[in-house]
Amino acid sequence: MSDYFSSFTTVEQIKAEYRRLAMLHHPDRGGNTATMQEINRQYVIALRCCDGQQSKDDAGNDHTYRYNETREQEVMDALHAILRIKMSAEIWLIGCWIWIMGDTRPAKEQLKALGCMWHSKRAAWYWRTAEQGKWKNRSPQSLDGLAAKYGAREFTTRQADTELAA
């Protein structure tokens, strides 16, 4: 049995390795379910070890990483479901929020069914965890500003056929 994350010491390294391994071993990409389950198990353990670690976001700002297994799994599940929708769109994971832009009109009802909401000022759909829905803080920043502050990863629905990212 491989120890997938033993050589990585930062949250950023662990998450990057998880994405790489998921693309190789995910069952939707022809991988083995048992292998992916073991990768998921080790990923959770590796992130728990980093809880409270100082980290840097994409803009180089320091912050303290707090691991929340339930939230991370909820975000991953939502991202997988959104990537499976047939639409021509760009999908950004910014922090723990998922933003969907592009020709989304044909997928409107599917997005609503997944709990996505329309943001009229940013002209984009977004998804957030129920926990985040309690926040009343509204940011005037653009999506680029939010991406710089919280870190981001961009996907397109065209990638969903070839890349199921975690």
**What per-residue confidence (pLDDT) applies to 108?**
95
pLDDT tens, residue by residue, 68-100: 778 888 888 998 899 888 888 999 988 888 999
The full set of domain ranges for the chain reads 11-67, 70-161
Residues of the chain with pLDDT under 70: 1-2, 51-67, 133-139, 156-166
Mean pLDDT (the chain) is: 79
Residues 6+ apart with CB under 8 A from 51: 65, 66, 67
**What per-residue confidence (pLDDT) applies to 36?**
87
Among positive and negative, which fits the CA dihedral 111, 115, 118, 124?
A: negative
What stretches of 51-128 show up as alpha helix (H) in DSSP? 69-83, 108-113
Residues 6+ apart with CB under 8 A from 1: 38
